[in-house]
Amino acid sequence: MTPPVLDVQGLRRTFRLRSGTVHAVRGIDLTAGRGEILGVLGPNGAGKTTTVRMLATLLPPSGGRAVVAGRDLLADPAGVRARIGYVAQSGGLDPNCPVGEELVTQGRMHRLPRAEARARAAELAADLRLDDLLDRPTAALSGGQRRRLEIALGLVNRPEVLFLDEPTTGLDPGSRADLWDLVRRVRRDHGTTVLLTTHYLDEADALADRLVVVDAGAVVAEGTPAELKDRHGAATLQDAFLAITGRASDAPATV
Amino acid sequence: MNRLLTDTGVVFGRSARQTLRSKTALTFGMLQPLLFLALMGPLLARVDLRTGGTSWQAFVPGLLVQLSLLGGMFVGLGILVERQVGVIDRMRATPLHPAAPLLGRALRDVVQLVVQAALLVLLGVAFGLRAPIAGVLLGFVFVGLLSAALALLSYGLAMNVRTAPEFAAIANTAVLPLMLLAGLLLPMTLAPGWLDAASRAVPFRYTVDAVRHLYLGEYTDGTVLTGLAVTAGLTVIGLLGGLALFRRSGHTP
Ligand SMILES: Nc1ncnc2c1ncn2[C@@H]1O[C@H](COP(=O)(O)OP(=O)(O)OP(=O)(O)O)[C@@H](O)[C@H]1O
Ligand SMILES: [Mg+2]
């Protein structure tokens, strides 16, 4: 077996507030191999974003270790940054900057020479159907177009690991399906490992090879979608999820 | 080192294009000193400010330092907005040198403020300012150093406060006493002893006095050297403080 591209052990993060200490992430273990799509599920406040931000070098962990894209997160954060793409749960765009310029600048921030940054921007724009929008300020994009741009920015450096934090929240069904295709294509063409968080169980079922369910900062279940369903005798991932997070008894299984 | 320079250049380019796009920011930054120049300068034309030379030679240097002070102190608002919409996080998740987002922006501010200072001086000439060209050019060095110091600290502060109103409150509270005490609009040569003494605690006092001497063609006297030492010292403090604050913000959510 090839060594995992993503290997997280005992990752923890606490926030100290005046009102007390928040244990946002209480010791999470994750692994993912090359080209694997790992779905992270969990209710609001479970610690998904905090985990992703730690793995993207944006938040120092309170404890634990992680290897991301073959580099040690704590010892070589610069090495990690060069090999990942990070698409935040929301935002990250300069509202007045034209789409084309955001793409080229992102390439320059990844230390591509100017000509190469331009070529890469053009390539991604064509690939993600942004080429008619290059001169438009990002504030004038629709939700789906904006998401495509944010993902394009995350792909500029052909990352080994792509972090997508709730990539399809707020998108219409067509745009969501588009995005699933895109994620599959990135994996197929480049062997990119994708870690995506989502609240949509159909998305997790359709897209992820393996799922991790977190609740209150800890992993409470792990397996392929089929395994999770079997383990809980559930017909749908929705039922399995509710059983896992202990919200099955009084909550109706439909939304 | 090479990396840092290239990366700073990338952020500088991005920030400079942002500035050029927002014409409002450019004009509004200039508006206040321009109004002072046009509406207050003429009032002083026949007043003896006791600085030697004409009142314009004392007034325009004051406006330059004011431009640098107001322009530099509030640049943090821009990065605060970018931080809140996630642009800073996106930059920090790339291999860009960690200091480049700070240095590239501050460099943009220095260039912008020196250009605005040059425009202000040209307008001053139209109103009646006469000063030796070498003194005027050296004056821009002071404007650049001071702008760098303030911009760096402003960014450092903005990265460590929670909200824009919090930042504005701190900057506003600081700026007015500093401006008045430094003797920017009217020089401290007119001040009673206690005020003059108090003003010596404000570093910008030494900057503006030095630039006033430069505008009189006195390049090597003690005032200019003291002003240079204080202003350059501020730049070093701004650099170290700004870098430390910027680094700190990467460790706190
Ligand atoms: N900067 C912070 N300071 C204090 N507490 C925080 C901070 N960031 C996150 N938290 C807390 O940590 C916990 C986990 O938050 P996180 O954003 O990781 O959840 P999430 O799983 O991404 O939720 P959602 O599905 O709503 O996006 C929450 O209780 C949250 O309030
Ligand atoms: Mg989240």
In this structure, is residue A169 part of a structural domain? Answer: no
A216 and A181 inside one domain: yes
pLDDT at A250: 44
Calculate how close chain B gets to A201, using CA atoms only, in Å. 27
pLDDT at A166 > cutoff 50: yes
Q: A5 C-alpha to center of ligand 1: Å?
A: 25
A225 and A205 Cβ atoms separated by less than 8 Å: yes
A198 and A204 Cβ atoms separated by less than 8 Å: yes
In this structure, is residue A193 part of a structural domain? Answer: yes
In this structure, is residue A168 part of a structural domain? Answer: no
Determine which residue's CA is closest to atom 19 belonging to ligand 1: A45
Domain count, chain A: 2
Range of the domain at A240: 1-28+35-83+176-255
- Please calculate the CA angle A128-A134-A137 and round it to the nearest 5 degrees: 115
Q: Tell me the sheet residues that pair with A30.
A: A8
A14 and A77 inside one domain: yes
pLDDT at A99 > cutoff 60: yes
A107 and A45 inside one domain: no
Beta-carbon contacts of A138 under 8 Å, excluding residues fewer than 6 positions away, are A93, A94, A95, A96, A97, A98, A99, A102, A146, A149
In this structure, is residue A170 part of a structural domain? Answer: no
User: Which of A12, A28, A48 is the best mutation target for the ligand 1 pocket, counting ligand atoms within 8 Å of the beta carbon and taking the most?
Assistant: A48
Tokens linked to A10: 């005992």
Beta-carbon contacts of A153 under 8 Å, excluding residues fewer than 6 positions away, are A85, A87, A92, A102, A103, A106, B90
A64 and A180 inside one domain: yes
In this structure, is residue A163 part of a structural domain? Answer: no
Q: DSSP string spanning chain A?
A: -PPPSEEEEEEEEEEEETTEEEEEEEEEEEEE-TT-EEEEE--TTSSHHHHHHHHTTSS--SEEEEEETTEETTT-HHHHHHHEEEE-SS----TTSBHHHHHHHHHHHTT--HHHHHHHHHHHHHHTT-TTSTTSBGGGS-HHHHHHHHHHHHHTT--SEEEEESTTTT--HHHHHHHHHHHHHHHHHH--EEEEE-S-HHHHHHH-SEEEEEETTEEEEEE-HHHHHHHTT-SSHHHHHHHHTT-TTTS-S--
- The reply to whether residue B94 touches residue A109, judged by beta carbons under 8 angstroms, is yes
Handedness of CA A49, A50, A53, A58 (dihedral sign): positive
Distance CA B163, CA B140 (A): 33
A79 and A180 inside one domain: yes
Residues of B in contact with A86 (CB under 8 A): 89-90, 93
Beta-carbon count within 10 A of A189 CB = 10
A144 and A190 inside one domain: no
pLDDT at A4: 86
Percent of chain A whose predicted confidence (pLDDT) is above 90: 76
Q: Are strands A84-87 and A161-165 parallel, antiparallel or unpaired?
A: parallel
* Alpha carbons within 13 A on the beta-carbon side of B13: 14
Tokens linked to B63: 């406006």
pLDDT at A253: 39
pLDDT tens by residue, chain B, 253 residues: 789 999 999 999 999 999 999 877 777 777 888 888 888 888 888 888 888 889 999 999 999 999 999 999 999 999 999 999 999 999 999 999 999 999 999 999 999 999 999 999 999 999 999 999 999 999 999 999 999 999 999 999 999 999 999 999 999 999 888 888 998 888 888 889 999 999 999 999 999 999 999 999 999 889 999 999 999 999 999 999 999 999 998 877 6
Beta-carbon contacts of A35 under 8 Å, excluding residues fewer than 6 positions away, are A187, A191, A192, A193
Distance CA B139, CA B61 (A): 8
In this structure, is residue A226 part of a structural domain? Answer: yes
Alpha carbon dihedral B213, B216, B219, B221, in 10-degree steps, equals -50
B2 touches chain A (CB under 8 A): no
Q: Tell me the sheet residues that pair with A16.
A: A21
Tokens linked to A166: 């709730």
Distance CA A159, CA A141 (A): 25
Q: A13 C-alpha to center of ligand 1: Å?
A: 10
A151 and A228 inside one domain: no
A186 and A154 Cβ atoms separated by less than 8 Å: no
Select the residue of B6, B7, B22 nearest A96 (Cβ to Cβ).
B22
pLDDT at A234: 81
In CATH, what number is assigned to the domain containing residue A244? 3.40.50.300
A179 and A171 Cβ atoms separated by less than 8 Å: yes
The residue out of A111, A132, A158 marking a domain boundary is A158
Please give the average per-residue pLDDT across A157-170, as a whole number. 94
- The reply to whether residue A59 touches residue B253, judged by beta carbons under 8 angstroms, is yes
Residues of B in contact with A109 (CB under 8 A): 7, 10, 91, 94-96
Minimum Cα–Cα distance from A78: chain B residue: B95
Task: Work out the pLDDT band at A247, boundaries 50, 70, 90.
Answer: low
Tokens linked to B90: 């996106």
pLDDT at A254 > cutoff 70: no
In this structure, is residue A167 part of a structural domain? Answer: no
Please give the average per-residue pLDDT across A132-158, as a whole number. 95
Beta-carbon contacts of A143 under 8 Å, excluding residues fewer than 6 positions away, are A170, A171, A175
Task: Work out the pLDDT band at A7, boundaries 50, 70, 90.
Answer: very high
A78 touches chain B (CB under 8 A): yes
Select the residue of B21, B22, B86 nearest A91 (Cβ to Cβ).
B86
Task: Work out the pLDDT band at A255, boundaries 50, 70, 90.
Answer: very low
Select the residue of A60, A78, A96 nearest B21 (Cβ to Cβ).
A96
pLDDT at A52 > cutoff 70: yes
Task: Work out the pLDDT band at A244, boundaries 50, 70, 90.
Answer: confident
Please report which helix (H) or strand (E) contains residue B154, including its range.
helix B133-158
Tokens linked to B185: 């609009």
A41 and A52 Cβ atoms separated by less than 8 Å: no
Distance CA B199, CA B136 (A): 24
A119 and A181 inside one domain: no
- The reply to whether residue A88 touches residue B89, judged by beta carbons under 8 angstroms, is yes
Handedness of CA B146, B152, B155, B161 (dihedral sign): negative
Question: Terminus-to-terminus CA distance in chain B, angstroms?
Answer: 28
Beta-carbon contacts of B57 under 8 Å, excluding residues fewer than 6 positions away, are B51, B129, B130, B131, B212, B215, B216
A123 and A62 inside one domain: no
For residue A17, give the ligand nearest its CA: 1
In this structure, is residue A171 part of a structural domain? Answer: no
Tokens linked to B197: 């003494």
A2 and A70 inside one domain: yes
Distance CA B180, CA A215 (A): 56
A138 and A101 inside one domain: yes
Task: Work out the pLDDT band at A44, boundaries 50, 70, 90.
Answer: very high
A63 and A118 inside one domain: no
The residue out of A108, A123, A158 marking a domain boundary is A158
